[in-house]
Structure 1
C-alpha cells in the first residue's frame, strides 16, 4: 500500500479545494457523498451554518428536528421572527374586548384621570377613589403619557373623570384594551432581541421555542387581556435584563433592571440576584496575584471604573424617576403608597404558597379541636393556644372570609411581617452563594428563579399573579436539562391554573381552560423535542422516572380539580349550602396548586445546589464536547 504524502493530505483538506470541479469530482466525489446532512452544534454553528457534515443515524431526535426545521426553503431569520405571531395574536385579543374585565380596569382608568387632571405633586395623595395610585413613578409617567392619546369621545365617556366609582362605556374599554396590546410590543421586541443574540441554528430554534411559550403564555392572556393589567410590557423589560446578561452587557443589564424597578416594585424580589451577579461579574476582581502585596490586591479587588459606571447608570435612572417627587416633598407619601404594610399576610384569595398551606392546616386543626375533644389537650400542649378563642366566630373565619386584612391563627403561631421577611431573606441568600462563587449566566438565571420562588412562597401579602415572576425567568432554563423541564412543568401548570379564579364568569370559562390546555400540550411536546437529555438524568434511572411519573400524574390532577370546582360553582346557585361555602372552591385550587409549586421549588433547589453539570457555562461545555469528539476521532 502506498504512503500518503503530507502535501497531498494538505491539499485534500485545503479550503481552496473544490470537490465539485471536473478535476476533483472523480477522486473526491465518493468521499464527499456521505457528507450530506447538516450537523448542528449549539455553539459552533455561527458563520459556518451551511457547512455539511455526516450525521450518525442514532443522533438525538432534537437535533434531527432542528436540522429539518433549519433546512426549509424559508431562511432561519424569517423562521425565528415573532412579527407574524404578534399579528395573528391580535385576532384573539381583539375578540376579548367584549368580555369580562376586573376592577383593575377601573384602577387604571382612575390612574389615567389622576395623572391627566392633577399636577404631579398630587398624584400620590389623591384619594377620591379607593383605587389610589400605588405603582412607582415610571408607571405613573406611563399612565400620564397614555392619557394624552385619549380621544375626545372617550374622554366624554368618562375615561378621565376623577370619581369614587368610574362610569364608562364600551369606547373606554376599547381604548384601554388597545393600550395593553400596543404596550405588549415591548415583550415581542425583547424576545426577538433574545432570539437574535444566538448565532447557531440550533440555539436560535431553541430560543424561539422559549419565546413562543412566553408570548403565548396563558398567564398573560388571563391577567392582561381578560382581567386587565400591563404585565406584558413590564415582563418585556425583564426579558431585556436576561438578554443583556447573556450578552455580558452589564451596564445595559443594570439599566434595564433599574427601569424595571421604577415601573413595578414587585421586582424587588429579584433584586438580590441581579445585584450579586453585577457585583461579582462586573465590579469585583477576586483573582489574587501572589507576586503583589496584600494592599495592592485589596485595592485591585474592586474594578473602580466599572463600579463608577454602573453606579452612575443606576443613579441616573432613579434620579429621573424620583427627583420630581423629591422636589415637591412627596417622597414619604410615595413610599407609603408603595409599601402598605397594614395589609394582611394573605390576599383575599390565597396565593398558592406556603402561607396558604399553613392557613389550611390551622383551619383543619380548628375543626379537629371542635370535633375531637381528646385531641384538644394534645394540641393545646403542643401549640399553647387559648381554647376560648375557638368560640369566636370572627376569628375562626378570619382567613376564609375573603377580605384583605390582618389574619389571626388560632392553633398555629401567628406569622408576623418579620418572620415572613426573614424566611424570604434566608432562602434568597442561600441561592446567592453559588452565584457569587460562579457568576455565570446560567447561575444567574437559577438564582433569579430561586429569588422569585422564595419571595412568592414566603412573602407578605403575595398576590397569585406574582407566580409569573417565577415562571418567566425559569422559562429560559428549561431546555438546559430534561429534569429542569419536568420541574418547570409542575410549576407552570400549577401557576397558570391558580390564576383561573381571577376569571370567575361563565362566558370566559371555556377560553381560559381550553387555551391553557392547548398551550400546555403544544409546550409539552415542543420542549420535550428540543430539551437536553443529560447523562446525569440517564444515570438517575428509576429515580428520575419515578419523579417524572408522579409529576405527570399531579399535572393531570388539575383536570379533576378544575372540573369539580367548576361544577360546584354552577350548583351553588341552586344549593344554599354550597353558596355559604363559596371560599371552599378557592381554597381547593389554592392548596392543590400550592403543594405543586412547593414540590417544584424543592426539586429545583436539589438540582441547583447538588448538580453542577447543569450550571456549567455553555461555552465550556461546548469546548469540552468538541475536545472529546476530536479525541474520539483521533483514536478511531
Structure 2
C-alpha cells in the first residue's frame, strides 16, 4: 500500500475536535442497559479481588469480556472514584447519578482518542490526487470524515453506550500498520485487540493467512509464475511469540488460579440462543422468517397441527434458545461450519494469489461479513467491523465505493431500533441523513469520471428503506397491530436490512474471486 502524508492543514484536527464536541452534546441522552453493564464491571474490578472477577454474579450483567478489557475497566475505576465512589459498589445496581453518567460518557469520548489516532494513520495510507483544489476530491479528507463521523459509532457508543470506537481503533491501527508493511506492530495490536474483545476472532483467519503467506514466506517471480523462495522460521517465531506473550499477560493470572474454564464459560455463553434479542440483519433472520411463514402457511392449509408446533418464542424479542417450527433447528456447530465454509474461498484466494495489503483488507472484510451472516448469537452492532474498514477501499475504488454505500446505508439503518425513545428519533434520522448525503456526494465526486456508483436495482432497494422507516415509525404505532405484534417493526427492519447486507457480502465476494483484489493501478 502506497503511503502518503496527510495534508499539513488544519482540517483533520478540526474534524476530530468537531466530532468530539458533538459527542459531548449526547451526555444526557438516552442510554441502554449497556451503561449498567459497564458500571457493574467498574464495580467488580475495583471492589473485588482478581480471583472473583469472573465468578461475581450479583448482577445479571456479569463480566464476559477477555481479561485485558477487565484491566481496562480496573484502570477506569480509579478515575471513577473521584467522580462518585458510589458507582463502584457491587450491590448498587442500576446506579446512574449525574456524576456517574458524566464519567462514563467522558470515558468513551476520551478512549476515542485512540480511534482518532488510528483514523489519522489510515489517512496516511491513501494517495491524494495531485492538483486537487476541492477538498472533497482528496481521498484522505473523505476517509477522515467517513471514519471520524461514522453514524453507527456515534449512536452506538455515545447514545446507546459502548466502547466500540476504542476497540475499532486497535483494529484500524493494526490494519494501517500492515498497509505500511509494519507487520509485527500490526500483529501486536491485533493480539491486544483479541484480548480486549473476542468478537474480533471474526477476522483472525484473515490475519493468520495473510501474515503466514506474505510475512513468513518470501516469493520470487520468474517468468510470470510465482515460486517459493524461502520460509523464515524466525519470522514465524516472532509472530508466535507476540501472540503467546499477549495471551500470557492477559490470561496468565487466571490460568495460575485454575480459573481458565470459568473465564472461557463467560466468554462463550452458547446458551444465549441463535439470535440476539433484536435480530441482527443476517442469514438467520431470513431463516427465522421463512420458518415462521412456512408454519403459518402449513397451519392454514391444514398440513400442520398448530398445537404440536414449538412456541414461536423467536418473535418475542428475548435472548433465549428456541426450536424452529418447520425447518431444522440451528446449533452452534452448524453456524461454525457455515462460517468456515463461507470464508474458505477468500482465505484460499489470498494464499494462492496474494495481492498485498489490498487483498488482505478485502479478505478481512469478507471474514467479518461471513461471521456476521452465519455466526451464533450475532449482535447487530457487529456490522461496524465491516463498514469502517471498507471505508479505506471506498475512497480508492469505484466498485468498492458502491458496495460501501449499500452496506453502510443498510447496516446503519439496521441500528435504528437501538434508539427507540421519542427524544432520540430526530437525532438518529438527522445524523444518518447527514452522513449518508456526505457519503454519496463525496464518493460520487471522487469517482465522478466512472459513472454511477450504484446499479439501478440497488438504488431501488435503498429507496425501499424510506418505505420501511415510514411504516415502522409512523404507520405501525397508529395501527391495531402495535398491541398484538409489538416485535413486528424489529422483524421488518432486520429482514429488509438482511437482504442488503447479504447482497453486499456476495458482491464483495465476487470482486475478490473475479479480480483477485482489484486493479493494480488503484491498489492501496
TM range (shorter): over 0.9
Cα distance between partner residues in 1 of 2:4 and 2:333: 51
1:118 Cα offset (Å): 0.7
Cα distance between partner residues in 2 of 1:285 and 1:76: 34
Q: Pick from 94, 118, 131: which aligns with 2:24?
A: 94
**TM-score, length-normalised on structure 1?**
0.77
Q: Pick from 383, 394, 401: which aligns with 1:478?
A: 394
Q: Pick from 325, 329, 345: which aligns with 2:254?
A: 325
3-state SS of 1:78 partner: coil
Q: How does 1:135-150 map to 2 (within 5 A)?
A: 135-150=65-80
Partner residue, 2:347: 432
1:597–1:532 distance in 2 versus 1, CA, 3 Å: same
Partner residue, 1:340: 269
1:596 aligns with 2:464: no
1:196–1:599 distance in 2 versus 1, CA, 3 Å: closer
Cα distance between partner residues in 1 of 2:22 and 2:144: 19
Cα distance between partner residues in 2 of 1:448 and 1:287: 25
Q: Could you say what the CA RMSD is over the residues aligned between the two structures, in angstroms?
A: 2.5
Partner residue, 1:38: none
1:428 Cα offset (Å): 0.9
Q: Pick from 456, 467, 487: which aligns with 2:403?
A: 487
Q: Pick from 131, 142, 149: which aligns with 1:216?
A: 149
1:228 aligns with 2:161: yes
Q: Pick from 276, 280, 287: which aligns with 1:351?
A: 280
**TM-score, length-normalised on structure 2?**
0.93
1:613 Cα offset (Å): 7.1
Cα distance between partner residues in 2 of 1:325 and 1:90: 37
Computing the radius of gyration from Cα coordinates, the structure with the larger value is 1
1:369 Cα offset (Å): 1.2
Partner residue, 1:64: none
1:581 aligns with 2:464: no
Q: Pick from 133, 137, 160: which aligns with 2:88?
A: 160
1:459–1:161 distance in 2 versus 1, CA, 3 Å: same
1:131–1:615 distance in 2 versus 1, CA, 3 Å: farther
Cα distance between partner residues in 2 of 1:533 and 1:83: 30
1:164 Cα offset (Å): 6.8
Partner residue, 1:109: 39
1:479 Cα offset (Å): 2.7
Question: When the two structures are aligned, how many residues end up with a matched partner?
Answer: 515
3-state SS of 1:99 partner: coil
Cα distance between partner residues in 1 of 2:4 and 2:28: 47
Cα distance between partner residues in 2 of 1:553 and 1:192: 35
1:566–1:289 distance in 2 versus 1, CA, 3 Å: closer
1:282–1:588 distance in 2 versus 1, CA, 3 Å: same
Q: Any gaps of 5 or more consecutive residues in structure 2?
A: none
Which piece of structure 1 moves more, 413-422 or 349-358? 413-422
1:580 Cα offset (Å): 2.1
3-state SS of 1:285 partner: strand
Cα distance between partner residues in 2 of 1:590 and 1:199: 37
Q: How does 1:483-562 map to 2 (within 5 A)?
A: 483-531=399-447, 548-562=455-469
3-state SS of 1:476 partner: helix
1:369–1:321 distance in 2 versus 1, CA, 3 Å: same
Cα distance between partner residues in 2 of 1:405 and 1:478: 38
1:95–1:351 distance in 2 versus 1, CA, 3 Å: same
1:459–1:337 distance in 2 versus 1, CA, 3 Å: same
1:113 Cα offset (Å): 0.2
1:567 Cα offset (Å): 1.5
Partner residue, 2:108: 180
Cα distance between partner residues in 1 of 2:8 and 2:467: 42
Cα distance between partner residues in 2 of 1:351 and 1:197: 32
1:531 Cα offset (Å): 3.3
3-state SS of 1:263 partner: coil
3-state SS of 2:327 partner: coil
Cα distance between partner residues in 2 of 1:253 and 1:97: 33
Partner residue, 2:8: 77
Q: How does 1:148-297 map to 2 (within 5 A)?
A: 148-155=78-85, 158-163=86-91, 165-198=93-126, 205-285=138-218, 287=220
Partner residue, 2:48: 118
Q: Answer whether contact 2:359 2:516 (CA < 8 A) is retained.
A: no
**What's the CA shift string for 1:526-545, capped at 9, x where partnerless?**
011113866xxx7xxxxx88
Q: Answer whether contact 2:27 2:105 (CA < 8 A) is retained.
A: yes
Q: Answer whether contact 2:210 2:350 (CA < 8 A) is retained.
A: yes
Cα distance between partner residues in 2 of 1:533 and 1:194: 25
Cα distance between partner residues in 2 of 1:128 and 1:492: 39
**What's the CA shift string for 1:1-35, capped at 9, x where partnerless?**
xxxxxxxxxxxxxxxxxxxxxxxxxxxxxxxxxxx
1:563 aligns with 2:456: no
Q: Answer whether contact 2:66 2:267 (CA < 8 A) is retained.
A: yes
Cα distance between partner residues in 2 of 1:585 and 1:46: 46
Q: Answer whether contact 1:76 1:201 (CA < 8 A) is retained.
A: no
